[in-house]
Structure 1
Amino acid sequence: MSSDLAHRRYLLRTFAFMAGYVAINGGAIAGAFDDIRGPGAWALGLAVAAPVAGQIWATLELMRDSDEFVRALTAKRFILASGLAMAIFSAWGFLESYAHAPHVAGWAIYPLFWAAFGVVSPFVRTSR
């Protein structure tokens, strides 16, 4: 598959998953789910997590459908961003435990990961 087609599919999948993510969170911010309790609240939590899993799948599909160079470059960036996000989130968790830092919700790891991906990407320009 051509790299251009792989990137177009990635963008389309990203748009689709993030549209669902924004719609659910937008509804929550607007108060559409304020009265949900019990199993409905659990279902809402899983529903908003589904596009996150979908976005990760879209990234893996981009890697699968790309040439060796793009695959290796994306994998290297993905791994570095994952490690950086986990290190930062773990450090903050220890600061919460020992220094009484304010709590950060677990879902914050996802935007932190993509922020880390954006930070490391310009510096990772080779597949080695």
Structure 2
Amino acid sequence: MPDEIQERAGVPVLVCDPAGPIVATEQDALDLIGAAFAGAQVVAVPANRLDERFFSLGTRFAGDVMQKFVNYRLRLAIVGDISTHLDGSSALRALVHESNQAGHIWFVPDLDALDERLRATA
């Protein structure tokens, strides 16, 4: 399935294909933002599409990507199991916790959990 905009819980979401290209650069993130401008308010990126550097906070890649979405006023949902990354990094656990308390960046286990978050913020 290609990346496509779907209505989820009444919100247009760019749901990215798990088999799509890896988000490895800031330009890759900007490309997703550009695709979302076709009408999406949220971009749902499977965790497996994020370069490993995203989960290693010392690289600052996660912060750079997340800031791009905030700057363009788009919500970003990282969808999937990131428990192996969380097990190895208290800083990442803290980032995920703080992000999930706010409204712009969410880490969710699956699209059903994203739907629940979207309904809760409607």
TM-score, normalised to structure 2, is 0.29
TM-score by length of 1: 0.28
Between Structure 1 and Structure 2, which shows a larger proportion of helix residues?
A: 1
Structure number with the bigger relative contact order (C-alpha 8 A, sep ≥ 6) is: 1
Higher strand share: 2
